Structures are given as C-alpha cells and as structure tokens.
Structure 1
Amino acid sequence: MANTSADKPNIRQVAQLAGVSHMTVSRVLNDYPYIKEATRRRVLEVIEELDYRPNMAARALATQRSQRIGVLVESAVEFGPTSTLRAVESAARLAGYSVSAIALRGGDEITPQEAVDNLTTQGIDALCVVAPRSSSIAALRKISIGVPVLVVKPDKDPTFLTVSVDQQEGTTLAVDHLVSLGHRDILHLAGPLDWLDARARERAFHARAKAWGIRERPIVVGDWTADFAYDFAKGIRELPDYTAIFAGNDDMAVGLIHGLADRGFSVPDDLSVVGFDDVPLSAHVLPPLTTIRQNFHALGVSAVDMLRAAIEKREIPRVTRIPAELLVRSSTAAPREGR
C-alpha cells in the first residue's frame, strides 16, 4: 500500500486506511493499554506501510518514555545474533520504538558494565540481550540496570525475562532425522560452550542420543567458524566409525563439507552432515545442506512484545519458545551398507 501523496502521511490518513478513528491511532502510538491487540497490530501495519513518522519528541513527553529499546548483542558477526538483532529492530520499529545497539565482540573492547552504561545514558525504556555467553550473564546480574531486561536464551531465568527459538526441539529434530535414516553413531561438532545456545544444543544432543540408545561419543568443541570445521575435517585420515555429523551451526557444517571433499570423502555417501540456522547460502552449497531453521522474525516480535508489556506494566506474554523447523536437503542420506 504505497503512499502516493507528495506530502508526508498524517495521522488521519493512517486512521482512514486502518478503518479506525484518529483518536485510536493516537492511543496506539501512546501505548494506551486498553486497545484490542488486533486493532493495535492493524494500525501499526498501516503505519509501517505508509512510513508514517509521528512526532517522537511529543510522544515521549506525553508518555514519559523515550520509546527506545537498548540491545546488547554478544557478537554482531555470527548469523544468529545478527539476524536476531535485525528482527528486534524491525519489530521495534513497527511498534513505534527506536533501537540502540552495542556489540560486545569479546575481548576487552567494552565490558558489559560499560555497554549498559552507554545504553542507559540514552534513556532506554528496556534492554534486550542477544546471544549471550554465560560470562556476560553473570556480569549483568551484578549491574543495577533500572529497566526491564529480556535475555534471548534457551532457559528460564530467575532475574530476567527470556525468549528463544527452542534449541532442544531443533536438536531433537536433527538427531531424530539422522536416526530415521539409519545412523547409530553421530558426532556433534559443537559451538563454544560458553555460549548458552551452544550449551543447550550440546545438552539436547546427549539427551537425545541417550534416549535412542546410540553411541555417545565425546563431542568436538568448535568456535562457530567454517575455518575450524574445515581444519577438523582435513585432519580426518581414514573414514571414521561415525556415519554422521551434527554441526552446531551452518558455517561449521559448510566448512565440514569443504574439508571432507578435499580429503576425498563424499557427503552424504561417506558421511551425512546436518547444520543449524538455515543461513541463506545453506540451500546453495554442494550438496545443499540439511539444517534446522530458526524463525528469527518470530523471535524478534516475541522479544519486543514481552518488553513492551513489561514497560507498560501489562501481563507478560507466555510464549517464550519459538518452534524450530527441520529442512531436509541433500547433505543427509542413509549410511552405506556395512557402515
């Protein structure tokens, strides 16, 4: 629904297209609590379609809020954290909020305390923490933040609101798929276990392997990168006993496929490979990668919905786990006879 007027869209145009009064639009913009959710979403969708920009200064003055959400992201390099950040930014914009984001990046570039101080001085109404490590969560518990805090992590938390894609479900789907093909010896190439998502996948892998009664071999701990997985695969001299590898993310899965090919092994004829994330290129590597899709859009919407409810002191939505989805492609097959 494009805006063809030469003038900037106004609140009455929003109201007309949404089929409500301009007062209802104003109440939605000012987070009035007694608006039907369907009406609120319809108005926000029209605002997005028209690219309507209300007077944020006046709105902040009226609500005593900054209409800003701070986002602390552990790393803005990996696909998962970056996708989650973009999803939060999109959902926040649709809800009339701006976003200020800071990446920790690891090392000593900026501490969690410095990052929180930077964000809170901007007058944020809430804080969202994306893809955290256990060390950063421990640091956040020692900081007096003063606004609602949501952490995107797999497990519930006594201190913070939480929401995540269901890591246990995703891992279960991956293992069950391999078992259904006939695999009984599976290696898990995990992400760094200080990352809470990597740890959740590692725990779920062992639990599912035990449930199926398949061999529980030690995991290999990687660093999320394709280079690590490539080097690991290049180090395989002979065809191993395991017949499949479940990689903690798609980057490592792609590195595995490359390294195995350079070593002279075929995927999936010699080894099946499953990834996690569904990065855009996963459908176009050779062979196309079987993987677990994370719905980052739904994750961002849920995170913003929960934070808005906390800001407005409404009941917090109960949906804290977003379903994962198995995408079966050509990197997995039944093990060869005799394997």
Structure 2
Amino acid sequence: MRTLSLKAALLSLTALLLTLSCSPMLMLDLNQKGEMDIRLDAETMRSALPGLDSELSYYIIEATHTEGDFLELVSLSTSVHLTELRPGEWTLRVLACNSDDEVLAEGTGTLLVEPGGNSSLTIVLYDVTGSGTLGLSLVWNDDLMAEPRLLLDMTTLDGVPVPVSYNVETGMATGETTGLSAGFYKLAVTLLDGESVVAGTVEIVLIRNETVTSVDLDLSQINKKGTEIKLAATDFTISWDSDDLSVDLYRIYYREHGSFNWVLLGSTDSGADLEYSIGNSMLAYGIYDFAVSSVSGAEESELHSSMDDTAVPATGWYINWESP
C-alpha cells in the first residue's frame, strides 16, 4: 500500500512538472499578434436618390478591443486587411460616406482575433440609424405676391407623412423639428399666391444621428401670379417711366396672359408722353400682359413687362379686358 501511494505521488509530481513546463509555451502564444480581413457589403442600401450624391466614396472604420485598444482608419476599398492586432474580441463600426462627406450608411460587427491567426468578418452596411434634427430657413419676397402662402410637406421615402415644425413671418419661415429618425426624407416646399403656385422645390434630406441638418432655401425667384385689373371699356391707356434722353422711340408689346411669346402692338416716339392708348379697334377683348422696349438707333432694349418686379404694383399686373 505504501509503494502504491508513493507511485501515485510520483505521478502527481510528474504531471505538475509537465504542466509547469508547458506554461511558458502557452504565454508565448497569447503574446502573438493576430490579423483580420474585413469585407464591407453595401448591397442593402437604397439606390441612387435625386438631389443627393449617393455613391459611396470612402469608409471610416473604427475598431475597439475589450481591453480598450482603439484603431481608426479610412479606406477607399470594401476589402480591408489589418495586421498586428491584439488577440481577443474586437468590435467594429463602419461609416460609409459620399464625396460630400455625408454619412450615408453604417454597420457594426464583432470579431475574435486568435493569436497568430487570421480572422475574417463581413459587415453589412445599412442606412444610417439614430435620430437628428431638421433646421429650416426659407425666404421670399412678400411684395411680389398679393396673398403669399407657404406649404411644407415631408415624408419618408416610403411616403409616410412626417410633421414639420415651422413659423411663418413676413417673407420668411424658420423652425426646427427634433427627434427625426436618421435616414432619408423627401421635403416638398410650395409657395403660393392665393391658390396659384408661384415657386416650389423638392429636396432629398438626409437626417444624421445627433446632427442638425439645415435646409436653407431662397424662393425669391417666382413665377408671379400678378394682380388682375378688370376693365369694361372700349379703350384704356398704359404708361411707363424713363429718364433716358437717347431713346428714339418706344415699342409696345402684348401677349395673352399665361403665354410666352410677345407680339408687337405699336410704337410711339420719345417726344410724346410716356403712355400708349389701346382701343378695341386694334386689339380684341381678352386677358393680356403688356411690355415696353426702348429703341436707340439700331439697338432695342430688353422688354420691361407688366409682370416684372419693377412694375407697379410689384406683384405685377395683367388686364382682364371686357366689352362695356
């Protein structure tokens, strides 16, 4: 019995020595660096969007180890190989950007790096997540409209309506809408004069996480509705201003309201009063815009019309001419 006990003790001692002799080899393995291959998959992203550069130009890759190590790099390729990495678990975050430095998509993943090994991971990129803020600043010229009115309509790209907060003052609208889910939206801006649309645009807006996306629009260039002047008479007179002493004569033009091409109606020399009388014998009753040009020698100026911003009133005007 004593002999058996001694052998058991010897066996235990041998196992202990064997374990101790292997320990330095195990520590050496843990100190070896590892590598990783990362492939980025952007196939789940939406297709190209109007008004936005949706082509991915580069990728920002952030890698964080559980022990606090941090790496950040920029890649132009969807395939990335990293070396000299500390073994253990790494968490990766990828931001996909376009040429305007807008983050269009992001993806995350976790990878275990083995000592002396080469691990691989595919990170799928999805449209941006989180929430952000939309800031609005719109301006226009109230003097060019009789009844200015603004309409804003924002939806997701799937057509789901999204409320927008804004305040309208004279010639401008401002506001902020917070808590919007990050992603793409369609913002339709319509400026009306009464019931007539005079300006508008549709913008594709990208909301990013914890970021204020500003939309600044100048709506001063409008297709004016104009002020209707009703006349029930056989004739009427239009007038204009000019202080150019080199003018030889003025030409008067007309067009049907809402049409494009001007038609020469007549002319008057510069020595006369700056006005022109129009009767039913020279023009049929109807709805018309009018314009005047000046002629000096062989040179004719641009037309100055009743719908110009310099007309009085500045809203522009047109004649609705009827028989008395």
- Please classify the TM superposition score into its range, dividing by the shorter chain length: under 0.3
TM-score (normalizing by structure 1)? 0.27
Higher RCO (Cα < 8 Å, 6 or more apart): 1
TM-score (normalizing by structure 2)? 0.27
Task: Determine which structure has the larger strand proportion and give its number.
Answer: 2
